[in-house]
Amino acid sequence: MPPLLASLLAFLPLPPAIAAPVAAQGGALRIYGMDSKPVSYREDGQPAGLAVDVARHIQQRLGRSDPIEIIPWARANTVANAQPNVMLLSIVRTPQRAQRLLFVGPIFMAYISAFAVKERAAEIRAMGEGIYKLRSGARRGSIFVERARGHGYNLTDEPVSSEAAARMLMLRRFDLWFDGEEIVGPALEQAGYARADVELVKQLSLEEVYFAFSNGTAPATVQAWDSALRDMKRDGSFQKIYRKWLPHYPLPADARAAESRKP
């Protein structure tokens, strides 16, 4: 084959059926999820959740067995910013993050919202512009912090986890808690409370959530994960996993479209 033609072919995407073999995919991945039930969390000491199940299914298709760890978000994000071959199980894509991470997905939709204790919810909803002066909290380093501040809220506390944020809200350490609607119920239960103890005050945004790979990760690795996830959406295995964990939430748009095309 002429050298020029070989060089050009090297940049063409591989079809799913001949996705890059394990050796070509680069070194071992460090896969990190945060304690964010039902997306990723520990159950009986083992990783579990929507993102974990999808990642494991993709690993089976690719012949990989890289371990999955559940660690604090701030730590996972720090490692991903500094080192190659790091994969984050769930992250919202933003222009700033796109400069340092490679995204595959989406895997679900996050409804970022403000919550208050039930007894104060009606009062807070009626405050008008005064709501922006209230003390509020969101998980440290998360998209919830970014969106709350971007909307002009007075973010005074950044607890290390959603569970800690739930506890602080219930103890009246702050008045508003910003988090994903799919996460709030499990976080309250982990903190010893019930979903009915809080009410949604305002929905801020709807965000697509992705897998993300750190800069320096082999392009073949990212491409292989992307192809495998697309295949899962085409054959329905993604939708089955999704509905197991988020039965009351709509599928990502591409998964809905793939499902509608099935005979």
pLDDT score for 16: 44
Q: What is the pLDDT of residue 25?
A: 58
Which tokens go with 9?
């072919």
- Say yes or no to pLDDT of 93 above 90: yes
Q: Check residue 259 and give its pLDDT.
A: 84
What is the model's pLDDT at position 23? 46
Rounded distance, CA 164 to CA 171, Å?
11
Cβ atoms of residues 167 and 191 within 8 Å? yes
110-206 shares the fold of 27-109+208-261: yes
CATH class given for the domain over 27-109+208-261 = alpha beta
Distance CA 188, CA 210 (A): 24
Q: Check residue 252 and report its DSSP letter.
A: P
Residue 22 has pLDDT above 60, yes or no: no
Average pLDDT over residues 65-86: 93
Peptide bond preceding 84: is omega within 30 degrees of 0, i.e. cis?
Answer: no
In Å, how far are 41, 102, 136, 145, 177 from 163, measured between CA atoms? 12, 29, 15, 15, 11
19 is written with which tokens? Answer: 């996705």
In the chain, domain spans: 27-109+208-261, 110-206
CB-CB contact of 173 with 137 (8 Å):
yes
Q: What's the whole-model pTM score? A: 0.85
Q: How confident is the model at residue 74 (pLDDT cuts 50, 70, 90)?
A: confident
Which CATH number is correct for 110-206, 3.40.190.10, 3.40.50.2300, 3.30.310.50, 3.40.50.1370?
3.40.190.10
For residue 73, the model assigns a pLDDT of 86
- What are the φ/ψ torsions at residue 135 (nearest 5 degrees)? -70, 140
232, 234, 239, 240 alpha-carbon torsion, rounded to 10° = -70
Asked if residue 38 has a cis previous peptide bond (ω within 30° of 0), the answer is yes
CA-to-CA distance for 210 and 96, rounded, in angstroms? 15
3-class state of residue 7 by DSSP: helix
